[in-house]
Structure 1
Amino acid sequence: MHADIHLTLHALRATELHREAAEFRETAGHRRPRTDLRTRLGWSLVELGLRLVNRPVARPRTHLA
């Protein structure tokens, strides 16, 4: 692929991404803050998962006879 074609495609994609970001910012301003029950429950589950992962594992004792 020629460099000028690559540069043109990159510029077109960058323009599309900038437009999508602007649209997202416009709609994000109208959203309510994420303090609803679903969000609090989700973060509680994340905290619980992190506690379970960091908990030391009890290893059974092996008797050598």
Structure 2
Amino acid sequence: MQPDIHLALHHARSAELRAQAAAHRTDATPRTELRTRLGWTLIEVGLKLATRPRPATAH
């Protein structure tokens, strides 16, 4: 295959993939926000469970 033809096909396919990715990103935006908040909440709960409670100090 000629290098010029191969390069042209590559550019055409990459443009198609970029268009598909852009369409996918706009559809997934609200769900991504929920997944992010859920992920950080799970990390916070995990850290609270993993840390040892401090002994109570008497005043």
TM-score (norm 2): 0.51
Residue 29 of structure 1 deviates from its aligned partner by 1.2
* Unmatched 5+ stretches in structure 1: 45-65
Q: Look up the match of 1:27.
A: 27
Runs of 4+ in 1 over 6 A off after TM superposition: none
Q: Look up the match of 1:5.
A: 5
Distance 1:20 1:33 in 2: 22
Aligned residues with identical type, % of pairs: 42
Structural RMSD (CA): 2.3
Q: Which has the higher helix share?
A: 2
Distance 1:28 1:3 in 2: 37
Distance 1:2 1:9 in 2: 11
Residue 30 of structure 1 deviates from its aligned partner by 2.8
Residue 18 of structure 1 deviates from its aligned partner by 0.6
SS of alignment partner, residue 5 of structure 1:
helix
Distance 1:20 1:14 in 2: 10
Q: How many residues align?
A: 40
